[in-house]
């Protein structure tokens, strides 16, 4: 009889949890694909940044976080929000600008926050959330709370001054924060190799005297393992870690992007050969954790949750004009 391969997971995760992560990855993909379609049809206005193809970084990095743990997110943040326990109905309602949205229709795609679930919010300023994550970690340190903060940012943000200032401060104070760089190879149009002369963003950790780890960001098992080790280290009071997860955004930077800066062949290669969901599916099947049928059922459940979210969003009320002037000051 053929022996099943076991997952190379460091932390112990139940089969149910792993299947839940598979569902979450589909939910992230369906959400962003749905948003893409709504933009194309003109049903959502403004702008948006999709993380299709990057599902493993968000789901993997948040897999072991509790509601007490915090994240800071980015302009490409829908996946982070879902992975941190956000509800897709309230997220979609936000993109529709409705009162039932996470921000009552005032924040939109780039500013979804869910403080009750530890999502300190998505920042539209590249690198803007990095010092903020350090502040969140400082609170944990000063109040002697045992939560950790996972700070998501991209390869582009690692060239901002705020990255340098924040990582250095977290390092000298041994703060419980994990700097999680989703290197999806491109800023808006600039390839990472044109914008820095180091091979890995994680190499920069040496400049701050902290560990730097490179993982395949499309392999959720690797992402979970690296984040687990970094969060455990942080909780022990040993300070921050810089994780770099190599991944790829399948879509353009934002809604209008002709993608002249890369080839269709490159995109096809990542889609066909390095799809993070497909990969996790193969892992689950090979390890005998789920059957093909079960995984199909899980996928359909994600689809249905998304359909219900859309219905909720479309049927939700618009804010009254009185809302314009509220919430400026506490």
Partner 1 sequence: MREITYLEAVREAMSIEMRKNNDVFLMGEDIGVYGGAFGVSRGMIEEFGPERIRNTPISEAGIAGAAVGSALTGMRPIMELQFSDFITIALDQIVNQAAKLRYMYGGKGKVPMVVRTPSGSGTGAAAQHSQSLEAWVTHIPGLKVVQPSTAYDAKGLLKAAMDDDNPVIFYEHKLLYKTSSEVPEEEYSIPLGKADVKREGTDITIVATAIMVHKALEAAAELEKEGISVEVVDPRTLVPLDTETIIESVAKTGHLVVVHEAVKRGGFGGEIASMIAESEAFDYLDAPIKRLGGVETPIPYNPELEKAAIPQVPDIVNAVKETLTKKAVAK
What residue ranges bind partner 1 (CB under 8 A)? 70, 72, 101-107, 111, 113, 115, 120-121, 123-125, 128, 130-140, 142-143, 161-162, 165-166, 168-169, 172, 326-330
| Shortest distance (Å) from residue 71 CB to partner 1 | 12
Q: CB under 8 Å to 114, separation ≥6 — which residues? A: 81, 84, 85, 86, 102
Nearer to partner 1, 102 or 228 (CB): 102
Closest CA to 253 of 262, 245, 244, 264: 262
Could you tell me if residue 219 is left (phi over 0), alpha (psi between -120 and 50 degrees) or otherwise beta?
A: beta
Nearer to partner 1, 137 or 298 (CB): 137
Residue 248 neighbours by CB distance under 10 Å:
23
| Shortest distance (Å) from residue 111 CB to partner 1 | 4
**What is the C-alpha to C-alpha distance for residues 158 and 258, in angstroms, rounded to an integer?**
25
Nearer to partner 1, 70 or 249 (CB): 70
| Shortest distance (Å) from residue 174 CB to partner 1 | 12
**What is the C-alpha to C-alpha distance for residues 112 and 98, in angstroms, rounded to an integer?**
13
Residue 71 neighbours by CB distance under 10 Å:
30
Q: How far apart are the first and last CA of the chain?
A: 65
Nearer to partner 1, 205 or 225 (CB): 205
| Shortest distance (Å) from residue 306 CB to partner 1 | 22
Nearer to partner 1, 141 or 271 (CB): 141
Q: Cα separations (Å) of 283 from 9, 220, 258, 324?
A: 11, 10, 34, 49
| Shortest distance (Å) from residue 136 CB to partner 1 | 4
Nearer to partner 1, 123 or 221 (CB): 123
| Shortest distance (Å) from residue 288 CB to partner 1 | 42
H helices of 215-317, in order, are 220-235, 264-273, 276-286, 292-314
**What is the C-alpha to C-alpha distance for residues 189 and 208, in angstroms, rounded to an integer?**
28
């Amino acid at each position: 009889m053929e022996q099943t391969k076991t997952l190379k997971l460091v932390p112990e995760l139940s089969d149910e949890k792993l299947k839940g992560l598979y569902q979450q990855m589909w939910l992230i993909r369906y959400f962003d694909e749905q948003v893409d379609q709504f933009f194309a049809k003109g049903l959502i206005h403004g702008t948006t940044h999709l993380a299709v193809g990057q599902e493993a970084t968000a789901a993997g990095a948040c897999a072991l976080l509790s509601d007490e743990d915090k994240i800071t997110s980015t302009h490409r943040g829908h996946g982070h929000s879902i992975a941190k326990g956000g509800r897709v109905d309230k997220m979609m309602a936000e993109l529709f600008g409705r009162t039932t949205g996470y921000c009552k229709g005032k924040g939109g795609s780039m500013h979804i926050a869910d403080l009750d679930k530890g999502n300190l919010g998505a920042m539209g300023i590249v690198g803007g959330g990095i010092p903020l994550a350090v502040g969140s970690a400082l609170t944990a340190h000063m109040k002697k709370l045992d939560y950790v903060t996972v700070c998501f940012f991209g390869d582009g943000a690692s060239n901002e001054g705020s990255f340098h200032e924040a990582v250095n401060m977290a390092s000298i104070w041994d703060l419980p924060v994990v700097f999680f760089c989703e290197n999806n190879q491109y800023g808006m149009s600039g390839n990472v190799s044109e914008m820095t002369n180091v091979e890995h963003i994680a190499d920069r950790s040496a400049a701050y005297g902290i560990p730097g780890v490179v993982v395949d960001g499309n392999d959720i098992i690797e992402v979970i393992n690296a984040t687990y080790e970094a969060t455990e280290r942080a909780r022990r009071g040993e300070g921050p870690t810089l994780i770099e997860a190599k991944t790829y955004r399948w879509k353009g930077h934002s809604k209008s992007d002709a993608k002249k800066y890369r080839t269709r062949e490159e995109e096809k290669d990542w889609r066909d050969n390095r799809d993070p969901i497909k990969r996790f599916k193969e892992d689950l099947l090979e390890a005998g954790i789920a059957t093909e049928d079960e995984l199909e059922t899980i996928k359909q459940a994600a689809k249905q949750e998304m359909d219900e979210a859309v219905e909720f969003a479309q049927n939700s009320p618009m804010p009254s004009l009185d809302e314009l002037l509220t919430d400026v000051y506490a």
